[in-house]
Structure 1
Amino acid sequence: MGLLDGYGVLIVSDSSELRSEVGFLIEKDTQFVMTGMAKHGNTVLDCILASKPDLVIIDLDMVNSDGLLALHLIMNHNPIPVVVLCTHTPEGSMKTIQAMRLGAADYFHKEMLSQELKNKIMTSYFLERCKMAIQNGIQGVYDSHFYSTGIVETVLSTPLPHRQDQFQRRMDIEFYLRRAIDNQEFHLAYQPVVDVYTNQIVGLESLIRWNNATLGHVPPSDFIPIAEECGLIHEIGEWVLKEACMQNKRWQEAGLSKVFVAVNLSRRQFNDSRLSRMIQTILEKTGLHPKYLELEITESMSMEVELAADALRQLKKLGVRVAMDDFGTGYSSLGYLRDFPIDKLKIDQSFIKGLIQSQVNAVIVNTMVTMARNLNLLVVAEGVETEEELQVLRECGCRLVQGYYFSQPVMAKRIEEMLHLETKQTG
């Protein structure tokens, strides 16, 4: 089959209840066509030859490990995209690890699947994951963010006693991440950007934080890659933009110093054609002037130059500022400066940390600052922690800095106190 006719789906399970549930979900999308059901893993090849599906959904809880047998037969004889259904248990996690090693394109919790029948959003999520598995193809999963970030490789290289715990945590994060916005589990912390000549706060970088009742505090480095892989990053990113703009507008309406707020964009957000319109809508609804919003992109995004330049031009038309984060860590820095309409460079903290000990780092930072000045770009040094580092940056002519020397990321209430104090001093 194909896009014109719909996607054919084969379900492999010895549970009539599960076959009915999955079949019910599949029929909700006109792009899917049920081509058959297999009750035994060893019959999967015959069913594939008879119905020629585009996707096989396999139950890993079949007796005698029939689910893994079916997957093994498919990958060795007739490789097509496979989504495996797993349980929210240590045993289910181990089976999922085996399935991913054999070549399954994706997996889905049965606990989440049971919610599908009652929740339209979750139903759509499951169906989109199935489509993504088909569109990525068999080899696509190895290029996905899930694999390229080394999550599975790290798990598989971990000693067996800890392996299932790591993989279970990854599955738990995805499970609870879906509910995080509705449950109001996210909040933003803000780290000041300071003018070293005036010691005034001129901007704030917004940083998302997540506390879940079951998982506790989950670092962004853990949940952001998973959000990108499963498509939740768009919803989360929109929440961050909206929250940061609303908060900045509240500070301004309270008569506090007007500063910019910076928001990091992920690769998937940046490549979304709807990004510009979404940001425009948020600015209109919050009433925040565009010049007080700064969007941070990273040079490690591996962007296609023409598409990226066009996307940045669309954003610049809104009147927002664009900063390149982690500058100096990629391979195309100078080319990006030539091709992209950028307002600011943020020097990666790895150069700042070795500023005192390494003469090379000092030369590199000085070169970056000089180059940026000649290109009429602003510069922010990230990760400043000591007076010695600050002094070197002053000597280099770097006016804007950010780091623990001035403040770690703090809650909005603390930022309000800082801005209030500055407003009193300057007023």
Structure 2
Amino acid sequence: MACHACRNGAAFEVPITMAFQPIVDVATRTVFAQEALVRGADGAGAEAVLAQVSDTNRYGFDQLCRTTAIEQAAALDLTADGASLSINFLPNAVYEPRACIRLTLDAAMRTGLPTRSIIFEFTESEAIDTDHLLNILRSYRAMGFRTAIDDFGAGYAGLGLLTRFQPDIVKLDMNLVRGIDTDPVRRIIVRNTLATLTELGIQPVCEGIETPGEYVALRDLGVTLMQGYLFARPTVGRLAEVVWPEEAAIQVDGMRAAG
């Protein structure tokens, strides 16, 4: 049975849909995962939707995002080529992990989406109780789900969390990536962060990549999982076609030499 807080939370009444943005593996030129990003059904962006979230409807919003992401991913046959579905969740909307996961499991079973393909991604931008978060992450791992930290390096959890739990994936914040090809300080920070994650057995993802120069710099640092407008923008109602920089006739090696 669901916990008292889950049963008595208000529903989220704003109609939503999902945009999907790929996380690509540049080494194999495949899509590693598709991240589901909330959008208003009327075309409103994520910020406008999130502005409607309150303490009373937070649980309802989180659950609606999960089920909508799963239903639309299944309709698009998102996992057909081996890609996973990355779902953002709000730790403060999860009261008891095994109770709050039921609608997610029901949606996956109803649509035929394999639960082993689901990655639960949370952002560091929200202040959270670390013990509560660890309970969620450990519970999800025990249930066979993968977990990811989003916006790593820009929020509350950071390296302190990694001393107590090592998620499957860490996504480096775009502010660490932006302009890395011309900023030696960013390269040093990212290089050492990547080394730490690799030693801990965590897969790094660099997000927010917008320029060929950023791509080249990260590729040269050994990054293989990337996400950003350079490859594909979030799309609603379909899966975006990935643009591979070399195939787009971007002279990345020439740019590196010129830089």
Same topology, TM > 0.5: yes
Offset of residue 311 of structure 1? 1.5
Report the equivalent of 1:264. 88
Q: Which structure has the greater CA radius of gyration?
A: 1
Report the equivalent of 1:210. 40
Question: Does structure 2 retain, via aligned residues, the 8 Å contact 1:280–1:318?
Answer: no
Identify the match of residue 191 of structure 1 among 15, 18, 21: 21
Question: Does structure 1 retain, via aligned residues, the 8 Å contact 2:20–2:239?
Answer: no
Question: Does structure 2 retain, via aligned residues, the 8 Å contact 1:262–1:296?
Answer: yes
Report the equivalent of 1:180. 14
Identify the match of residue 397 of structure 1 among 222, 235, 242: 222
Question: Does structure 2 retain, via aligned residues, the 8 Å contact 1:380–1:402?
Answer: yes
TM-score, structure 2 as length reference:
0.81
Report the equivalent of 2:48. 222
Offset of residue 387 of structure 1? 1.2
Cα distance change, pair 271–325 in 1 and its aligned pair in 2 (3 A) = farther
Report the equivalent of 1:383. 208
TM-score, structure 1 as length reference:
0.51
* Deviation string, structure 1 residues 178-214 (Cα, Å, up to 9, x no partner): 5434xxxx211111111111222121111111144xx
Offset of residue 272 of structure 1? 5.2
Aligned residue for 1:192, secondary structure, equals strand
Give ranges in structure 1 of 5+ residues lacking alignment. 1-123, 129-176, 420-427
Offset of residue 251 of structure 1? 4.2
Provide the C-alpha distance between the structure 2 equivalents of 1:326 and 1:285, rounded to a whole number of angstroms.
32
The reply to whether residue 306 of structure 1 matches residue 135 of structure 2 is no
Across the aligned residues of Structure 1 and Structure 2, the Cα RMSD in angstroms comes to: 2.5
The reply to whether residue 316 of structure 1 matches residue 146 of structure 2 is no
Provide the C-alpha distance between the structure 1 equivalents of 2:192 and 2:94, rounded to a whole number of angstroms.
29
Question: Does structure 2 retain, via aligned residues, the 8 Å contact 1:346–1:381?
Answer: yes
Offset of residue 221 of structure 1? 1.6
Provide the C-alpha distance between the structure 2 equivalents of 1:178 and 1:369, rounded to a whole number of angstroms.
38
Counterpart AA for 2:14: A
Offset of residue 384 of structure 1? 0.5
Aligned identity (percent) is 25
Offset of residue 386 of structure 1? 1.1
Identify the match of residue 179 of structure 2 among 345, 348, 354: 354
- Between the two proteins, the alignment pairs up a number of residues equal to 234
Provide the C-alpha distance between the structure 2 equivalents of 1:389 and 1:336, rounded to a whole number of angstroms.
28
Q: Which has the higher helix share?
A: 1
Question: Does structure 2 retain, via aligned residues, the 8 Å contact 1:195–1:400?
Answer: yes
Aligned residue for 1:311, secondary structure, equals helix
Provide the C-alpha distance between the structure 1 equivalents of 2:31 and 2:136, rounded to a whole number of angstroms.
29
Counterpart AA for 1:202: F
Provide the C-alpha distance between the structure 1 equivalents of 2:200 and 2:166, rounded to a whole number of angstroms.
11
Aligned residue for 1:248, secondary structure, equals helix
Aligned residue for 1:218, secondary structure, equals coil
Counterpart AA for 2:223: C
Identify the match of residue 103 of structure 2 among 272, 278, 299: 278
Report the equivalent of 1:409. 234
Question: Counterparts in 2 of 1:130-149, with a 5 A limit?
Answer: none
* Deviation string, structure 1 residues 291-345 (Cα, Å, up to 9, x no partner): 2111111223332222221111111122111000000113541121121241100
Offset of residue 249 of structure 1? 3.1
Provide the C-alpha distance between the structure 2 equivalents of 1:226 and 1:292, rounded to a whole number of angstroms.
29
